[in-house]
Amino acid sequence: MYKEQLNLTSNDAPLQLRLEASWVQFHLGISRHGLYSRSSPVVSQLLKDMMRFPTISADYSQDEKALLGACDCTQIVKPSGVHLKLVLRFSDFGKAMFKPMRQQRDEETPADFFYFIDFQRHNAEIAAFHLDRILDFRRVPPTVGRLVNVTKEILEVTKNEILQSVFFVSPASNVCFFAKCPYMCKTEYAVCGNPHLLEGSLSAFLPSLNLAPRLSVPNPWIRSYSLAGKEEWEVNPLYCDTVKQIYPYNSSNRLLNIIDMAIFDFLIGNMDRHHYEMFTKFGDDGFLIHLDNARGFGRHSQDELSILSPLSQCCRIKKKTLLHLQLLAQAEYRLSDVMRESLLEDQLSPVLTEPHLLALDRRLQIILQTVEGCVEAHGEQNVIATDPAQQSAPDSSQANLTS
């Protein structure tokens, strides 16, 4: 199957799929409690493999293909066309989403930019994975930084003629390429190596939709993707009362999971969470997968309070989440310090600048103050929710995705 897909013509014996490969073990370990268990050694191995394994294929991602009319990808992603990402396959048949560096670490998103035209940042994807793991959500696919040789590891291994056609050598003798799509098909939007090496993030793929179907659901707190429009939640402070009457937010833990996601997005400054995905096998109480975090960490100088609207309007939070946040607010476990240490593991360290790390501490205090205000207004019993599914569940891969 792989030989056919990759159009390999070598007479050598085909490579054998190893069941002990880290990406296979990652897929097998997905459970109803998260993408990986807290004590799993598989994630560390997967990060190392994505950082060092040679690529054997490169291609556009599904949303770029949808823009080009090459596939019907509406059930996977919504095409945007304003960013560039590629699918890289490795010699062990694993694959990862590659997002190249578009901005320098110390660049902030301009204040006049709308959130839906902001660049996607490779270091935001890396940092989001580490933060998600520190928060013990375990809902972001493993992501690692890598220096990619765009000539040897993309141009020379791709079979896609369109992708081949967008490579060029800049006046500075650097190898560059750009997105082939209706919106940003200009060389000034290209990304360039130095002269061949380019920073990027690699995020492990989830299992095929054929093996593990996922549901894409509009976020109840979706933003208006227009220049002047506003959604109901932005003008109605009682909006959550309406949401709580609607399935599945009226009976399951889905609303609490939405609030978890809002807390995560507020910490990273991500305003672009228009949809969320879930594995259908785990039902209404399954965890929300925190995909596509590259529009986070754009502005360390501003805290976008509207991202916290699910928490401030609903005044509910999981006890487990709150206890974890309170721990990370203590001096000996300060969130910025834990993040700084965790990010040292990455090849592209420093992943975040110091102002972004300090912004995490500031935003954490805002979250805790919001919860405190809710408790004062409604009482602790009505605000802090004990989540039986999370509290009593063993941290293992039992009841996993592929059992």
Q: Which amino acid type is present at position 84?
A: L
201 is in an annotated binding site: no
Q: What strand order describes the sheet that includes 191-192? A: 167-169, 175-177, 191-192
CA proximity to 180, closest of 193, 156, 195, 161:
161
206 is in an annotated binding site: yes
CA proximity to 387, closest of 56, 50, 33, 72:
33
Residue 13 DSSP one-character state = P
203 is in an annotated binding site: yes
CA 227 to chain CA mean position, Å: 25
What region does 142 belong to: left with phi over 0, alpha with psi -120 to 50, or beta? beta
CA distance 181 to 58: 17
Max CA separation in the chain (angstroms): 72
Angle subtended by helix axes 319-328 and 254-268, to nearest 10: 20
112 is in an annotated binding site: no
To 5 degrees, how large is the angle CA 57–CA 143–CA 261?
Answer: 130
Q: Which amino acid type is present at position 94?
A: G
CA distance 165 to 171: 18
List, in order, residues 6 or more apart from 110 with CB less than 8 Å away.
none
Active site residues: 272
CA distance 125 to 122: 5
List, in order, residues 6 or more apart from 143 with CB less than 8 Å away.
125, 126, 128, 129, 201, 202, 203, 204
CA distance 102 to 86: 14
CA proximity to 101, closest of 186, 170, 191:
191
CA 260 to chain CA mean position, Å: 14
Reduced to 3 states, what is the DSSP secondary structure of residue 392?
Answer: coil
113 is in an annotated binding site: no
Beta bridge partners of 277: 216, 289
Q: Which residues are annotated as a binding site?
A: 99, 203-206, 277, 292
Q: Which residues are annotated as a binding site for ATP?
A: 99, 203-206, 277, 292
Q: Which residues are annotated as a binding site for Mn(2+)?
A: 292
